Each structure stands twice: as structure tokens, then as C-alpha cells.
Amino acid sequence: MGSADMSTTEQLRARSVRRKLIIQGLLIAVTIAAVWAAIRSAQVNLAALGITSGFGFLTRATGWDYSFSLIARSINDPYSRTLFIGFLNTLFVGFISIVLSTFLGFIIGTARDSSHPAIKSAATVYVQIFRNIPLILQAVFLYSVLIHFPGPRQAMNVADAFFLSNRGLMMPGLNLSGATAVALLLGTVAIAAGLVVRKTPLLRGIGLWLVLSTGLIAVTTGLMRPDDAPVLSIPELKGLRFVGGIIVPIELVAMITSITLYGSAYIAEVVRGGLNQVPRGLIEAGRALGLSPASIWGRIKVPMALRSIVPPLGNQWIFIMKATTIGIAIGFSDLFYIASNSITQSGQTLELIFLLMAAFLLVNFSIALSVNWLNARLQLKAH
């Protein structure tokens, strides 16, 4: 009797499994059919409008110009190169904004954790202001202010080396080619990554990174610059414009500044929360050993806080990268701006939106993987 009951139970389980498999198979089939029908309908509608689908348009010349590029550009560039330039611009703005936001966020977050009432209050006001005003509003406001600055002849001058006018920010630069500058940037990032892998203490790691990066810059500049060019190019006013140095367009200044101010306010709260989670006993032990406040911050508080800071910090880095899309509001030629113009000019809406989503998915997924790896490296290992 017991074996008969067991056989009946097994049959019921087998029927249940078959039923679930059939239902899942039907759902998959319906989903595939719906997707295929949507794609087919889109193709028919596009054909009726005389719009060809596919990625063949990427080889056609754009015929239009834009404000900023890290590499040489022309109105005769194909859509593929123009989109690649927009992708590079997005990576550039995102990387610079992430670095500056993190650096400023750590300063403001540390000030928020300070026991000095004036410093803590000033940091609190900063966070409340820049965190509660929409980012796009900050960018548009800052851009509107910057374009009303005086012209090059009346530009704001700092040490006869830095100039700010309605044309942009002019500052000294090394005489390096674009490719060499990119290689140099990657080299400094590699040095920083190497120090992280070695788990060098924070303050000593920053000092080593500065020394090694400065040496790398000096050697690269000496080897790669033209023989007849000075090491450092200083901007000079000639006529109605500046020549020499690095000219940062006003759109780029507004983009990086607004994203940095906004992102650092959120990162400051992440840092403050992490510092508050450090056990008071460890801080008291550091004081008992005679460590200075800077040593306690760099050797005790920050290393312990990083274990809780890194995951939400990674979320903020991803947010900052996505925030680069506000460039379209002030005319900065990031990937979103380039893709939007390409849609208007070519009519390849679906293809360009797909490329835009794929690019951001690739970048943000890479950031998430890097943060997960860093978080795993910082966790305490059980022995």
C-alpha cells in the first residue's frame, strides 16, 4: 500500500513538472512572437515612411559640426566616428567628474563628521544646497552665468596663467599629442590601481601616487614633446582670442562644475555615514597611542569606513556617469547630444537609441564590476 501511494505521489510530481514546463514554454513562445511582431511592425511602418532600418547609415557622412572633441573631427566624418567621439567625450566628462566629486565629497564628508561647529555647519549647508537643487537646473544656471562673463580681453586672470572668460577656461598645458596624453592618463590610473591592489595605507598611498605620477608625467613630457617646443605651454592673449595652453570650452566647464558640486554632496553623505560607523573604541585607542588626528583619520577611520562606503559610493559613480546626459541642455557634445542630433539628421531612431543604451550599459556595468572587485578586496578575510 505504501509503494502504491509513493507511485501516485511521483506521478503527481511528474505531472506538475510537465505542467510547469508547458506553461513556461508557452510564455517563452508568446514573448518571442510578441517581440517578432513588434520588430516586424516597426520595419513595415519604417518602410512605409521611406526610412531604411539597419546600421548601414553609420558609414554615411554626418555633414554637421559640434562644440568639443578630444580627437580630430570634421563635418565629413561618418556617423560611426562621430558617435565614437561623443562616447569619448562622455567618458572624459564622467571620469573627471567622478574623480573630482569623490575628492571633494571626502573633504565635505569629513567636515560633516568634524567636532568643530563652524566647519560642520558649513559642510551641512553645502550638502543641503547642492543636493536639493535639480542637477539640470544647476547646470543651466551655471552656464547662463558663465556665458555672461567678460570677453577674452577682460578675462579673469590668475597668476597670468589661468584665464576665465565667456569663451571658456584657458590654462597651462603640456606639449603632448592627444594619444600621448591619453596614454599618460591611463598610466596614472594604473599606478593608482596598483597601489589599491597592494593595500597601501591611504595617506602613504596618496603620497606614492603623487610622486610616481609626477615622475611619469616628467619623463613622458621630456621624451614625447617636440624638440623645438617648450615643456609647458602658457595661454597668451593675441587679438581677440587666446592661443597656447589648454582651452576648455564654457560648456565643458559648466558640465564638470555642476556635476562635481551635485555629486560631491551625495558622496559627502556616504562618507559621513561610513565614518560614523567606525567604533569609538578604535578612535580612542588611536588617541591613547598618541596618534595625530590626521593619522587617526588616515589609518583608522577611513580604512574601516571604506568597507561600508564602497558599495554606495559605486552607486554614486554610476549615477554621475549617467548624469553626463544633461549636456544636451547646454549644447555639450556628449554621446546623448550626438545621438539626439544623429536621430534628427538620419531618422534612424531605433538603431541610435539601441547604441546609446548599449554604450551606457557597457560603461556602468564595468563600473559596477570594478566596485564589486574593490569591495571584495577591502573586506576582512576570515582565517
3-state secondary structure the chain: CHHHHHHHHHHHHHHHHHHHHHHHHHHHHHHHHHHHHHHHHHHHHHHHCCCCCCCHHHHCECCCCCCCCCCCCCCCCEHHHHHHHHHHHHHHHHHHHHHHHHHHHHHHHHHHCCCCHHHHHHHHHHHHHHHCCCHHHHHHHHHHHHCCCCCHHHCEEECCCEEEECCEEEECEECCCHHHHHHHHHHHHHHHHHHHHCCCCHHHHHHHHHHHHHHHHHHHHHHHCCCCCCCEECCEEECCEEECCEEEEHHHHHHHHHHHHHHHHHHHHHHHHHHHCCCHHHHHHHHHCCCCHHHHHHHHHHHHHHHHHHHHHHHHHHHHHHHHHHHHHCCCCCHHHHHHHHHHHHCCHHHHHHHHHHHHHHHHHHHHHHHHHHHHHHCCCCC
Asked if pLDDT for residue 209 goes beyond 60, the answer is no
Whole-model pTM: value is 0.75
Rounded mean pLDDT, 23-50: 80
- In this prediction, residue 17 carries a pLDDT of 79
Q: pLDDT for 117-134, tens place per residue?
A: 888 899 999 999 999 999
Q: pLDDT for 276-298, tens place per residue?
A: 887 788 877 877 887 777 777 77
Asked if pLDDT for residue 308 goes beyond 90, the answer is no
Among the residue ranges 18-22, 96-100, 240-244, 342-346, the one predicted with the least confidence is 240-244
Could you tell me the fold of the domain covering 79-133+250-378? MetI-like fold (1.10.3720)
Asked if pLDDT for residue 202 goes beyond 60, the answer is no
> What confidence tier does 116 reach under pLDDT thresholds 50, 70, 90?
confident
- In this prediction, residue 139 carries a pLDDT of 92
Residue of 319 and 229 predicted with greater confidence: 319
- In this prediction, residue 125 carries a pLDDT of 93
Q: Contact at 8 Å (CB) between 332 and 252?
A: yes
Asked if pLDDT for residue 359 goes beyond 70, the answer is yes
Rounded mean pLDDT, 250-267: 92
Asked if pLDDT for residue 259 goes beyond 70, the answer is yes
Q: Which residue has the cell 510578441?
A: 34
Among the residue ranges 44-53, 96-105, 127-136, 360-369, the one predicted with the least confidence is 44-53
Task: Name residue 127's amino acid.
Answer: V
- In this prediction, residue 129 carries a pLDDT of 93
Can you give the residue ranges of every domain in the chain?
Answer: 2-53, 79-133+250-378
- In this prediction, residue 383 carries a pLDDT of 46
Q: What is the mean pLDDT of the chain?
A: 79
- In this prediction, residue 207 carries a pLDDT of 58
Q: pLDDT for 1-12, tens place per residue?
A: 455 555 677 777
> What confidence tier does 181 reach under pLDDT thresholds 50, 70, 90?
low
Asked if pLDDT for residue 38 goes beyond 90, the answer is no
Asked if pLDDT for residue 113 goes beyond 70, the answer is yes
Asked if pLDDT for residue 83 goes beyond 70, the answer is yes
Q: Which residue has the cell 567621439?
A: 85
- In this prediction, residue 216 carries a pLDDT of 58
